[in-house]
Amino acid sequence: MDTQVVIIGGGPSGLLLSQLLNRAGIATVVLERSTREHVLSRIRAGILEWGSVEMLREAGVGTRMDAEGFPHDGTYITDADLMVHIDFKELTGKRVMVYGQTEVTQDLYQAQDRMGTSIIHGVEDVQILDLDGPVAKVEYTLNGERKSLTCAYVAGCDGFHGVSRKTIPEEKRREFERVYPFGWLGILSRTPPVNDELIYANSPHGFALASMRNANLVRYYVQVPLADKVEDWSDDRFWSEFKRRIPSQAAERLITGPSIEKSIAPLRSFVSEPLRWGRLFLVGDAAHIVPPTGAKGLNLAVSDVFYLHQALIEALKHGSENGVDSYSERALRRIWKAMRFSWQMTTMLHRFEGEDSFAEQMRRATLAHLAESETARKDLAENYVGLPY
Ligand code: FAD
Ligand code: PHB
């Protein structure tokens, strides 16, 4: 065999899996379609559950995160001027970490370089073969030349549009999907955060989120119709829309500035079952997508990697297939709970085009209940900081 595990995709899930396996003495090859610069330029998630923080430390990539990340003990969920504080620390004893996906990915690339692992960029036309035999094979094109690798297992970490999920025969897959009728327009701006903790805001004008990366870099979002294009949104238009959606107490403090990145992401819930097909395992966005409202996308990728790295170590070091046999079921149990939470947060905080007046009252009543009930706040906090692995 050419290597033990071929990992398709060098995003956060592929890199973290490679890092954990190599540290355990298992040989891997990562095949990534894009350049490293391109992977590192994608602005995505910003919040790590504490379980993810611990996983990154265990993988030997926690030093910069611990020095430069910002632990947050709570968040605000707001409805017009009503600001409900969710005190994670008091309600669950846990906190979350503000540390961008770009930073996590960069730390992983650097750690992989130090270990001298194999990451091949610029691969095209990846094909996964022989998944039901004793040795799997992955073919790909690099610089116009067709190449192949044999291995014991293949990890499909290639995101929603990758090849891995589609390698599983359609009749063997079950897909569950909910597409939401809006997207998020996000901007990055070198300005101080409007609040010391994140604000998830419901308003008569739609949803807004005030997030951050550091003391002088913010990530703010507004809900927009699916048909909107980035070109429709000048910085001025963004700021005035954002300002009228967050509580007025916060809006008074808002400091605006030029955007340095602006993008629109559609919102979707999606799960493909099972996560295993012979010698292939699906991990992260290759298997499931959540709307970003619960900050779960990256964190679910990390928990999948947690289950799969244990299973692969058990199989390749100790000859036991129990872990690989139960990977799909174990990971899916946690995935579905995060699906539910992300869907509920999305429903609680967004205006749906054409909704009736009853829907708005339900949203407001849910938020009023959150303000008055510690039980409701505790439920939200428990899910937000991350359910146990
Ligand atoms: P990805 O990050 O998608 O990585 C997959 C990798 O595989 C990529 O590098 C890709 O180039 C590579 N690849 C794809 N196809 C192939 C192929 N055929 N061959 C080889 N390589 C291939 N989550 C949040 O929690 N908060 C957010 O605000 C948030 N915003 C997001 C915005 C966008 C636009 C998107 C798409 C996702 C966002 N997410 C967010 C989700 C979060 O970023 C993902 O859950 C996370 O990136 C999953 O990591 P992954 O490694 O599984 O997949
Ligand atoms: C972000 O900072 O990009 C972010 C934070 C929380 C979310 C989604 C995105 O729920």
What string of DSSP letters covers 169-236? -GGG-EEEEEEEEEEEEEEEESS--SSSS-EEEE-TT--EEEEEEETTEEEEEEEEETT--GGG--HH
How far apart, in whole angstroms, are the C-alpha atoms of residue 308 and residue 279?
Answer: 12
Mean pLDDT within 341-370:
96
Q: What's residue 283's pLDDT? A: 98
pTM above 0.80, yes or no: yes
337 and 363 both lie in a single domain: no
Give the model's confidence band at 34: pLDDT under 50 very low, under 70 low, under 90 confident, else very high. very high
Q: What's residue 259's pLDDT? A: 98
Does ligand 2 come within 6 angstroms of the Cβ of 101?
no
How far apart, in whole angstroms, are the C-alpha atoms of residue 46 and residue 65?
Answer: 12
Query: pLDDT tens, 187-218?
Result: 999 999 999 999 999 999 999 999 999 999 99
Q: What's residue 271's pLDDT? A: 98
Mean pLDDT within 328-350:
98
278 and 188 both lie in a single domain: no
How far apart, in whole angstroms, are the C-alpha atoms of residue 214 and residue 69?
Answer: 8
Is 86 inside any structural domain? no
Q: What's residue 200's pLDDT? A: 98
Give the model's confidence band at 305: pLDDT under 50 very low, under 70 low, under 90 confident, else very high. very high
Query: pLDDT tens, 7-30?
Result: 999 999 999 999 999 999 999 999
Range(s) of the domain holding residue 185: 181-266+351-385
Return mean pLDDT, the chain.
Answer: 97
From the list 337, 319, 330, the residue with the least C-alpha distance to 276 is 330
Give the helix ranges, DSSP H, for 214-321: 235-245, 248-251, 297-318
Q: Residue 159: which region, alpha, beta or left (left: phi > 0; alpha: psi -120 to 50)?
A: left
**Cα angle vertex 372, ends 369, 376, to 5°?**
60
218 and 310 both lie in a single domain: no
Alpha carbon 177 to its chain's center: 17
137 and 279 both lie in a single domain: yes
Give the model's confidence band at 333: pLDDT under 50 very low, under 70 low, under 90 confident, else very high. very high
Query: pLDDT tens, 233-250?
Result: 999 999 999 999 999 999
Distance 143 CA to ligand 2 centre (A): 37
46 and 103 both lie in a single domain: yes
Is 82 inside any structural domain? no
Question: Is residue 99 annotated as a catalytic residue, yes or no?
Answer: no
Question: Is residue 200 annotated as a catalytic residue, yes or no?
Answer: yes
DSSP type of residue 267: E
How far apart, in whole angstroms, are the C-alpha atoms of residue 239 and residue 123?
Answer: 40
105 and 217 both lie in a single domain: no
* Number of domains observed in the structure of the chain: 2
112 and 141 both lie in a single domain: yes
Question: Is residue 153 annotated as a catalytic residue, yes or no?
Answer: no
Q: 277-306 burial string, b = 16+ CB within 10 Å, else e? A: bebbbbbbbbbbbbbbbbbbbbbbbbbbbb
209 and 253 both lie in a single domain: yes
For the record, the structure tokens of 326 come out as: 């139960």
Under 8 Å between Cβ of 383 and 341: yes
224 and 301 both lie in a single domain: no
Is 90 inside any structural domain? no
Distance 190 CA to ligand 1 centre (A): 24
Distance 301 CA to ligand 2 centre (A): 15
For the chain, give the number of residues.
389
Is 326 inside any structural domain? yes
Does ligand 1 come within 6 angstroms of the Cβ of 294?
no
214 and 334 both lie in a single domain: no
Does ligand 1 come within 6 angstroms of the Cβ of 370?
no
Number of CB atoms found within 10 A of residue 356's CB = 9
Is 89 inside any structural domain? no
Q: What's residue 127's pLDDT? A: 98
Backbone angles phi, psi at 48, to 5 degrees: -105, 130
Catalytic residue among 292, 309, 327, 350: 292
Q: What percent of the chain has pLDDT over 70?
A: 100
Backbone angles phi, psi at 289, to 5 degrees: -130, 140
Does ligand 1 come within 6 angstroms of the Cβ of 34?
yes
> Is the ipTM beyond the 0.85 threshold?
yes
Is 85 inside any structural domain? no
Query: pLDDT tens, 153-181?
Result: 999 999 999 999 999 999 999 999 999 99
β-pair partners for 71: 97
From the list 15, 23, 22, 99, the residue with the least C-alpha distance to 64 is 99
Distance 261 CA to ligand 2 centre (A): 15
Question: Is residue 384 annotated as a catalytic residue, yes or no?
Answer: yes
How far apart, in whole angstroms, are the C-alpha atoms of residue 166 and residue 286?
Answer: 9
52 and 149 both lie in a single domain: yes
* CATH number of the domain encompassing residue 366: 3.30.9.10
Question: Is residue 169 annotated as a catalytic residue, yes or no?
Answer: no
Mean pLDDT within 259-288:
98
Query: pLDDT tens, 38-81?
Result: 999 998 999 999 999 999 999 999 999 999 999 999 999 999 99
Residue nearest to atom 3 of ligand 1 (CA): 159
Query: pLDDT tens, 127-139?
Result: 999 999 999 999 9
Does ligand 2 come within 6 angstroms of the Cβ of 102?
no
Amino acid found at 194: V
149 and 230 both lie in a single domain: no
* CATH number of the domain encompassing residue 314: 3.50.50.60
Is 84 inside any structural domain? no
